[in-house]
Structure 1
């Protein structure tokens, strides 16, 4: 039995393509694996706080020395990291904003990438502490930023996600991209969403 952490980061509701596709994946996955459990977090509608000075003070000091203020400052991070570590698999819906991820998801990353919890520093350098996990990232974008396309070099989203999650030890990452949703017109949008839907079906069979 697996436990999935499902996160959406789009501020849109019914109009969100990434949100629609992640929900399609999780629904179909649950139908195929009814024994699995899911934890859901909606960063698009319920964003987490940004890192601030009390957070930094708490993250770089021993928990037994924390004042009530520092305990409060680090509490959200503790909750999010506990969720991350408890899951075996991750399904993240992340639209592309200005060539990268939304600020809501960046705030989440800043809360979970934490020394002593998700990565360590030792004589060999940095070591990721989150191992043995699988991640599926479903992205959406108005244009096409795939490798080899004219705009491929402007895609900072996928390389960043691979780098930051690889940094904490998560390297088994699958991407499904719904692109050309605006620039491709109605036909291009339909074609891209069909391709993403087919990729979801394949991922459910093989993930």
Structure 2
């Protein structure tokens, strides 16, 4: 039985397109893998605090004394990284906010980016430790950023997520994109229709992979 971690980060609740897309992705995945265990994380409702001196406890030297606040923050980091490492498939809702990902999603990434857990440094450079997973990102954008080099240079959403998950050693990172959502009802309808087709394609491709390809 595989494990799927479903993450939403949009602040728009029921009006969120990225939330709509992640729900469709998870439903499509479960249709092909009915025994999949799904864990849900709503980062807008339960946002880990941004990194501070207290929340860097997981990087403290062994045996270092921690305050109660540091212990509490360290427990949050440990819970999040353990949940991430236990998942075979991660579905991430990532709207584009001011050319990048939501700060609450960045806060989650900062908690799971732990040396010795999701990556390590060697004499030859960094090595990812969380390989073998499938990540499917639901990307929602008000404008269009994929059709020109100038527009692509302005987005630090998909490019960042591709980089950070790759740094963790994950090579199977897929994107379901709905863009131009703020450019009128016709453009929004076309974007959603395209995204729905992409969901079918991406979940079917992932479903047809050998299980070893998506095992943690």
Whether the 8 Å contact between 1:59 and 1:74 is mirrored in structure 2 is no
2:186 corresponding residue in structure 1:
187
Over 3 Å counting, the alpha-carbon distance change for 1:82 and 1:150 in structure 2 is same
Whether the 8 Å contact between 1:147 and 1:153 is mirrored in structure 2 is no
1:9 corresponding residue in structure 2:
9
In 2, the alpha carbon distance for the partners of 1:9 and 1:127 equals: 27
Whether the 8 Å contact between 1:22 and 1:93 is mirrored in structure 2 is yes
Q: Structure 1 stretch 134-143 or stretch 157-166: which is displaced more?
A: 157-166
The aligned runs of 1:124-139 (5 Å cut-off) are 124-139=124-139
What's the offset of the Cα at 1:116?
1.7
The aligned runs of 1:1-207 (5 Å cut-off) are 1-62=1-62, 64-69=63-68, 70-148=70-148, 150-183=150-183, 185-207=184-206
Output the aligned Cα RMSD: 1.5
In 2, the alpha carbon distance for the partners of 1:15 and 1:147 equals: 26
Structure 1 unaligned blocks of 5 or more = none
Over 3 Å counting, the alpha-carbon distance change for 1:33 and 1:58 in structure 2 is closer
What's the offset of the Cα at 1:68?
4.7
Over 3 Å counting, the alpha-carbon distance change for 1:57 and 1:201 in structure 2 is closer
TM norm structure 2: 0.90
TM norm structure 1: 0.93
Whether the 8 Å contact between 1:136 and 1:174 is mirrored in structure 2 is yes
Deviation per CA, 1:81-106: give whole Å up to 9, x if none.
Answer: 00011001110000000111000101
